[in-house]
Structures are given as C-alpha cells and as structure tokens.
Structure 1
Amino acid sequence: MARPKKQEVDYFPHYCDHGKVLFILENHFKNDGYAVFYKLEEILAKTEGHCYNCTNLENWEYLLSKMGATEEIVLGVLQKLSAMGIIDAPLWIEKRIWMQSFVDSISDVYSRRTVDLPTKPELLHTEIPLNGINEGINPQSKVKESKVKESKVIEDSKESLSESGKNDSDENGGCPLCPQQEIIKIYHRVLPELPRVKQWPDGLQAILRTRWKEDPARQTLEWWESYFMYVHSSDFLMGRTKEAFIADLEWVIRPKNFTKIANGRYHRGGALMAKSQPGIAAWLEGRQENATTG
C-alpha cells in the first residue's frame, strides 16, 4: 500500500538577515513579536497544505498554546502581518492563515517530491463558518475586558447569522439604500491610521447594512463621518495605548463592539471601561453646542 503524500515539511529557512518585517514586529511587540513569527512558521510547516484554519476552537487554542504569548499579543502580531501583506488578508478575514513567502521559501523541498507545492486556497466567500465559530477569532476583535473576558474564542453567532442572511431587498420600505462604498471612503478619509478595507464580502455588507437600518439617525453620511471621528477620539481604538490592538472598519461595525463604542466604553481610559460613559450622543451634542457658540 502506497504511503499517503503529505504536504508538510520538517524544516524551513531561518535567515540571519531579518529585514523590515521582524524589525517592525519587535518594535511593536518586543521579543514576543519575534517568537510568534517563527513559531507561526513552525506551525505552518507541519500543517497539511501549509494553511492553518483558526475557525476551529481546538486549532485556535493549540496555536495559542504554542506561542508562549498572550492572546492579545498573538492577535496583534497576526493583524500586523495581515496589514503588511505577509499573511493573506482576505483569508485572515475568514480566520485562515496563509503565508505565501513561507511557502515560497520551501519550494526546493517540493521540487524533490512527487507532490506539488501547495497553492493558496480559494476564499470561502462566507461570513460565518459552518461550525458556528464567529467573531471571537477576529483579527481585531480580542480585547481585554476586565478580569473575566466576555468571550474566549466563540461568540454567540446568532446575531451575525441573522444579519448575514439579509440582503438589499430588505432595504426598501422607507429606508434608503446603505451607501457601502461611500461609507468606506469616509472611513478611509477620517481614519487613515487604521487598516484600509481591501475586501468587503457579502457578510460584512450585511452587518454594515444592519447598522444603517437600525436607527434613522444613522441613515446619513454625516452621521457616519461623526461616528468615525468619535472612534478617532478613542486612544484604545486607534492603537495609542500599550494594548496590542488596533480597530478596523469590520471591528467597529460588529453589533457588540458597535454598542460598546456608542456607549463610550472605549473612551476615557484603558481597553474596556466597566460602565458606560456619556457616549456618542453626548459627544455629538457637545460638538453641536461648540459649533453654535464658537
């Protein structure tokens, strides 16, 4: 009986000249950045097809256990690698890790095999994995939320499932269509420091559409410009604190995150405040008063 042909390797190059990627990781995450990067490559080396699937809870916990760093740091490193194009950003949105540069570095190994060098998997084009693991493993969704985290990796997927099942036909009936691209342009203009939107699949469109429809006040581009300006006023969301975290458009429109932001829980302090603050409504009121009196 023939032995199965595996797409795994037992070794990979570890270059002495690290280049800008490791320099940036060490600058942001100190030695943890260096360690997480190479331990990630070790995991990819022993993963069939060299693409690691984080949608499975056991896979995610295994990856974390190998890293020797906190979950926040691991996610911070992965997000930074995604932003730099080192891991594939669209696949990371789907909670899968693919590093083309790593696969290229081991091409010589496969040249001596009868099995082909693995190629990048196709996108699933789905917002919610079928196993129900949702925004808990989000490139930007893990934050420190007091002593007890509100979720570890699995979030309640029902609200996202209900949103992702909606389509544009729901929007007629008195509610103007959600101008997705215009909102994305405003996000880029007001928050240039945050990761740019490169892919905006159907699932994310459904979430943004739901935020738009929930409240008539949100059904103007002016409101969304104000919302992004409010996000900009949060040191935590903008990555101006010691936390290894930075938000993006996907993160700030997800239902639980959106509610906490609107209630001011990421303002005036560290990661997540125990109680709601005055929030965006009071902030907008104050801006209007200043505009009137100023």
Structure 2
Amino acid sequence: MKKIDDKQFKVTKPIHLKEIPTTFNLEADTEKIEKKLGKIRKKLAIVQDTMYAHGKYAVLVCLQGMDTAGKDSLIREVFKDLNARGVVVHSFKVPTSLELKHDYLWRHYIALPARGKFGVFNRTHYENVLVTRVHPEYILDENLPNVTSLEDVNDAFWDKRFEQINNFEKHIAENGTVIFKFYLHLSKEEQKNRLLRRLEKKNKNWKFSPGDLKERELWGTYQTCYQDAINRTSKPHAPWFTIPSDDKPTARYLVANIIYKTLKQYKDIKEPELDDKVKANLELYKNQLENE
C-alpha cells in the first residue's frame, strides 16, 4: 500500500480547488484499504483512552463537503471502534428559533468536546460563511443589529465573520482543543452518480431531496466560497486538509491516518502516574481483595 505524506493534503498556502484532484491512488484494493483502516481505528481507540485519562486535550474534527461527499459514512467507519462515551457527534442543520436568538457561534461553542473526548462536527461553523454566503438572504434571519437589508451583507461583513471564526478557533486551540478541519473534495460527476444511486435504491430514497438538485446548480458558487473559506482560515493551530473523496474507503483511510499521526506527535499525552503511596501499596490492596 502506498506510503502517505500527510503534508500533501494539508493547506499551508493558497489553493485552487480546480487544481486539486478528487481521487487518490493508494495502490491497494478496497479490502486492503478497509483492513488498514481497521488497524488505525484500534490505535485511535487507545489514543482516546489515554487522552481521557490524561484529561488535558480535546479533539475537534470538522467535516465539510458538498452533498453526498460521504460525511455520515466516514464518521461511522472512522470512529466506530472508539469508546462510545468518548466521541460526541453533532450534525448542524438549519438553525432553530432558539439558536437564532444567539450569535451564530453559540450553538458550536456549547457543542465543543470536553477534555479527553473527541467531538465531531458534521457540517460546522463554516456553514455560516458557506451556505449563508451562497444564500445571503439567510443572514437576515439572524436579526443582527447592523444588518437591515442584503446591502449590509457585503465584503466587510464577510471579512468580519472570517475574523470571528479565526478568533474562535484560536481561542479553543489555546485552551487545549486539537482541531482538524477536513474538506471532502468531491467531483461534480461523482456527486451526480451518488444522487442517482439515491433515486435508484429504495433504501436510499429517504436521503434524496429535490433541494439537492437546486443546490447542485450552484456548484460553481459553492466551490468559490469553499476555496475562499479554506484559504482564509487554514492556520497552524487549525489547519484544513483537502481530502480526495470520489472513493469513500480512500477518504476514510486518509482522514483516520491524519488524525492518528497528528495525535501521536503530542508526546505529553500519557496516562497519569499513580500517587506514590497508592503505588507502594498495590500488593496490599490486591491481597485485601483476594482475601475477602
């Protein structure tokens, strides 16, 4: 199986999505890729157990991508071997009436993972500079003090919002959250194939919405907005990774591999030492239990 350099997926300078491939050849068949993923899952589970005992870092995994990019299945396949209590998944839909009464980052703040846990955002705070940028009329629903018409949703508005998102991520990173941001890079042709499968397979019909086709018509606009968002917000403490996603097993393996390799670089993540007094009396405690 091909050796991977994670740096080739990490965004460290301005990118052009049209120049980035949506496929990646691991030089292995699906069975071998899934087997390798299974091994990484088990390693991630051990890391998460250690992180829980250590209690000083949280992990936030942010997944973004066009419809059908494979976010749901990736979450299922990458994290299913971790302790269920150690992973919390949040899927952010259209803001509720309660959420709209708060600032747009509020619902993301309260969903952040506790130290020792993994939090997975299926769609993220970036929806607030993606969907809302494609459909700026949605901003009016936020009832903001200085926004009374679409004319107020201008370049200065988006500049400020990107600044706020960067500050949000810097704040949580400085307080112990390890941030991963993955853009599942899908081709328009593959999206078409996946939408057709939703229509052709009865057990997949529920996933289809006519709105998917309306959003597909805006593909180019979304690509421009994604590119701008990635370029403005990929930072050393909160990097973006563009993941070729036309093949789902490959995308899952790449994401799991990047998370595992990055976390292994944190040499201070280790299980806490027992108190000296407790450690000195382990045999005593053992004998006490055995002689009950």
Where on the TM-score scale, by shorter chain, does this alignment land: which range?
under 0.3
Greater strand share, structure number: 2
The alignment's TM-score, normalised by the length of structure 2, stands at 0.24
The alignment's TM-score, normalised by the length of structure 1, stands at 0.24
Greater helix share, structure number: 2
